[in-house]
Amino acid sequence: MDESLAMFIVAAVIIAAVVGKMLLNKGIDAAATTLNKKVLFKSEYKEQQQMVATQLIFETTANNIDIWRELASHLALQETLPIVGTITYAASVNPDFVVYAYGNKLRPRAFVMSVKLTQNGAITEGKFKFESWLESDGIMNLFDVMKKHKNQVINAFHAADSNVKIAEVQN
């Protein structure tokens, strides 16, 4: 057998092995995700999906300035992303819409949530929802932190107006 044919065969075997390993890993990852969602963490997965599939609707007489101030206070917003540790910060700010993110310099958006305020006469309507999040094998990373942030948003609206009305609706 000539040398170039032997090198071609060796290269083909190496490529086939690499592609085979990639496909095997992909299959294992898909199986782990399915196992987590349907067997091992079935109730946790259901709770996680329910939380991100709903948004909170607030109806309040508080003004936007008071609501934004309470949100900043309750979410303990920071301005400088750390290298180590994580913070909540305002990733995008408009007068009636703020996108909050949780993360650090290495992973600045471990999860993202938003609040939109709409003024309608004396009533302000607020909408809160999670925009994005990270998962590992089908299970949400930082789910407990996300729940804590959702509760902090609720507490902020209560601090701005103790008579706030809150409803959960499907996205």
Q: What is the pLDDT of residues 146-157, one digit of tens each?
A: 999 999 999 999
Q: Which residues contact 150 (CB under 8 A, 6 or more apart)?
A: 51, 56, 113, 128, 130
What is the model's pLDDT at position 7?
A: 76
What is the model's pLDDT at position 97?
A: 96
Q: Is 50 helix (H, G, I), strand (E, B) or coil?
A: helix
Asked if residues 164 and 62 have their Cβ atoms less than 8 Å apart, the reply is yes
CA-wise closest residue to 85 among 107, 66, 64: 107
- Cα–Cα distance, 147 to 72 (Å, whole number): 17
What pLDDT, in 10s, does the model give residues 90-111? 999 999 999 999 999 999 999 9
- Cα–Cα distance, 32 to 47 (Å, whole number): 19
30-34, 64-68, 80-84, 107-111: range with lowest mean pLDDT = 30-34
CA-wise closest residue to 150 among 51, 48, 73: 51
Tell me the mean pLDDT in the region 115-140: 90
- Cα–Cα distance, 148 to 3 (Å, whole number): 65
Percentage with pLDDT > 90 across the chain: 60
What is the model's pLDDT at position 162?
A: 96
CA-wise closest residue to 72 among 83, 59, 88, 86: 88
Q: Which two tokens stand for residue 83?
A: 């290298």
Asked if residues 124 and 61 have their Cβ atoms less than 8 Å apart, the reply is yes
Q: How far does CA 104 lie from the centroid of its chain? A: 14
Record the pTM.
0.76
Query: pLDDT band for position 76 (50/70/90)?
Result: very high
Query: pLDDT band for position 12 (50/70/90)?
Result: confident
